[in-house]
């Protein structure tokens, strides 16, 4: 905290340095407000994304792809972790300066909790500060969920998605959970040379994806030395000095599996512990999420919540759009709402990445829609040589289209560059472009985008 900056007469307090909160803090400060932003750890300036989430994990995934399997090489992994750390340190310092350098913004490192709806206490390493403002914005994000499984506490050889990024490269790894986080880490460590087993309690991993898409992901995971066991109900995790053991059941049959490390990847929960929300009267939901309306206001006047802490889609870019909604509500005409969102895409950064937007085939049929499907393996798309050029032609491309209106309802793209191409498809959905119109667009060559021309020609 800069000692030359006063802490009285604040207009806004932002608790947590997530994407939405930090961006909004800068917007409000530049609009003339006196803003304080409170972050409980100096290692988290900039939020989850740049410190322990998107940026560091995708850096490790990129470096794992350069290895592409083989025997585990701890030194290569250490170099990748060092590059990760150098990048996050640079981004963290930049994020700190972006706000601290603003004259009307006060940065405080400490843990915040409510005293009443307008007042918080911040416990720093040196002191306790009491801050008051007419507006308080909660942006504390989410944290890895710890299940009620004996021995699942994060210590020693048992990790969550944060701690495993600085663990020694395991020769063998058990991933508990076959969701998006579990699949990304399984793919990464498999390519770094670890023998990975994923224990998924569902009928199959990635159960929210269509079966043909999920099967393609599983095939690529198998290429990376990853085995997936479905119907696996984990009962206990134990460990000693040399290994960790997971006890589980598959269709009633008890089994055990040992490895050098275990990753518990069973989702994330809103980070509200210690905020003392009761003192402010802020309402929370069943999973601890802060309940907000379409303008991100809580049930308490003057208190708002942005990003993962309010539940819903846990994406950095959704948190960023939360800032746009609230900035419009506070400084603009107040017409923007989270209900305006349409066709929000996402990417799972396995190798190659799987990206999706809109409805899957299963979802569309469950809604009773009359649909047409265009689907093709990436290797079979003659008009898309880029994946072959870069040496990875694996994957699948699938479109779901309304049979009557020709409107694009959704798409699943698993191929090189899919994380970029999906944004084009999402925009096409938002502007109501028909499948025929998208099919007939002119795209550069050689690119991954041009697969759209050929695949949409397969509609049936």
Annotated binding-site ranges = 58, 177-184, 267, 308
Pair of tokens at residue 87: 């990048």
Q: Which strands form 371-377's sheet, in the order they lie side by side?
A: 346-348, 354-358, 408-414, 396-402, 371-377
- Which alpha helices (DSSP H) does 180-315 contain, by range? 180-191, 211-223, 277-280
- Tell me the C-alpha distance between 304 and 298, whole Å: 5
For residue 382, the SS3 value is coil
Lookup: tokens for 155: 């210590």
Q: Collect all residues with Cβ–Cβ distance below 8 Å to 89 and sequence separation of at least 6.
A: none
Could you tell me which of 301, 290, 382, 363 has the C-alpha nearest to residue 20?
Answer: 290
Chain centroid offset of residue 170 CA:
24
CB 25 within 8 A of CB 63: no
Backbone angles phi, psi at 240, to 5 degrees: -135, -165
445 belongs to the catalytic site? yes
Cβ of 22: how many Cβ atoms within 10 Å? 27
Q: Report CA-CA distances (Å) from 89 to 83, 96, 165.
A: 10, 11, 15
Instruction: Give the containing element (helix H, strand E) for 27.
Output: helix 19-30
Token pair, residue 317, equals: 């870019």
CA distance 294 to 344: 16
Give the number of other CB atoms < 10 A from CB of residue 273.
Answer: 12
Kindly write down the DSSP assignment for every residue of 31-89, as one continuous string.
Answer: TT--EEEEES-GGGTT-HHHHTSHHHHHHHHHHHHHH-SSS--HHHHHHHHHHHHHHHH
Which residue in 27, 86, 75 sits closest to 51, CA to CA?
86
DSSP characters over 278-315 = HHHT--B-TTSPBP--TTSB-SSTTEEE-GGGG-S---
Q: What is the set of active-site residues? A: 445
């Amino acid at each position: 905290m800069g000692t030359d900056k006063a802490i009285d007469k604040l207009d806004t307090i932002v608790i947590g340095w997530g994407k939405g909160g930090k961006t909004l803090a800068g917007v409000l400060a530049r609009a003339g407000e006196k803003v304080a932003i409170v972050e409980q750890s100096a290692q988290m300036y900039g939020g989850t994304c740049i410190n322990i989430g998107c940026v560091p994990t995708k850096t490790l995934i990129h470096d794992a792809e350069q290895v592409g399997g083989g025997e585990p090489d701890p030194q290569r992994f250490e170099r990748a972790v060092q590059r990760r750390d150098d990048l996050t340190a640079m981004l963290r310092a930049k994020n700190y300066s972006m706000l601290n350098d603003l004259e009307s913004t006060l940065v405080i490192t400490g843990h915040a909790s409510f005293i009443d709806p307008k007042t918080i206490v911040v416990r720093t390493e040196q002191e306790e500060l009491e801050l008051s403002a007419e507006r308080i914005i909660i942006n504390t994000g989410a944290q890895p969920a710890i299940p009620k499984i004996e021995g699942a506490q994060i210590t020693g050889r048992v990790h969550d998605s944060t701690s495993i990024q600085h663990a020694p490269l395991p020769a063998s790894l058990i991933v508990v959970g076959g969701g998006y986080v579990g699949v990304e880490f399984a793919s990464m460590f498999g390519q770094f040379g670890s023998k990975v087993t994923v224990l998924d309690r569902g009928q199959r991993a990635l159960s929210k994806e269509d079966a043909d898409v999920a099967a393609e992901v599983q095939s690529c995971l198998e290429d990376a030395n990853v085995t997936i066991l479905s119907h696996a109900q984990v009962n206990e995790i134990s460990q000693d000095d040399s290994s960790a053991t997971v006890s589980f059941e598959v269709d009633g049959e008890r089994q055990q599996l040992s490895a050098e490390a275990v990753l518990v990847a069973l989702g994330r929960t809103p980070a509200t512990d210690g905020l003392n929300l009761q003192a402010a009267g802020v309402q929370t939901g069943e999973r601890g999420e802060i309940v907000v309306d379409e303008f991100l206001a809580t049930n308490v006047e003057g208190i708002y919540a942005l990003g993962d802490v309010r539940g819903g889609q846990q994406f950095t870019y959704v948190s960023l759009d939360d800032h746009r909604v609230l900035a419009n509500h506070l400084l603009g005409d107040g017409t923007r709402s989270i209900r305006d969102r349409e066709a929000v895409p996402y990417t799972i950064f396995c190798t190659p990445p799987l990206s999706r937007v809109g409805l899957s085939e299963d979802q569309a049929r469950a809604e009773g829609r009359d649909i047409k499907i265009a689907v093709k393996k990436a290797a079979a798309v003659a008009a898309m040589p880029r994946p072959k050029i870069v040496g990875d032609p694996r994957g699948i491309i699938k479109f779901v289209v309304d049979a009557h209106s020709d409107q694009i309802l959704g798409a699943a793209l698993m191929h090189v560059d899919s994380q970029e191409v999906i944004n084009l498809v999402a925009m096409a959905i938002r502007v109501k472009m028909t499948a025929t119109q998208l099919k007939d667009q002119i795209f550069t060559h050689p690119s991954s985008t041009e697969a759209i021309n050929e695949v949409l020609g397969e509609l049936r």
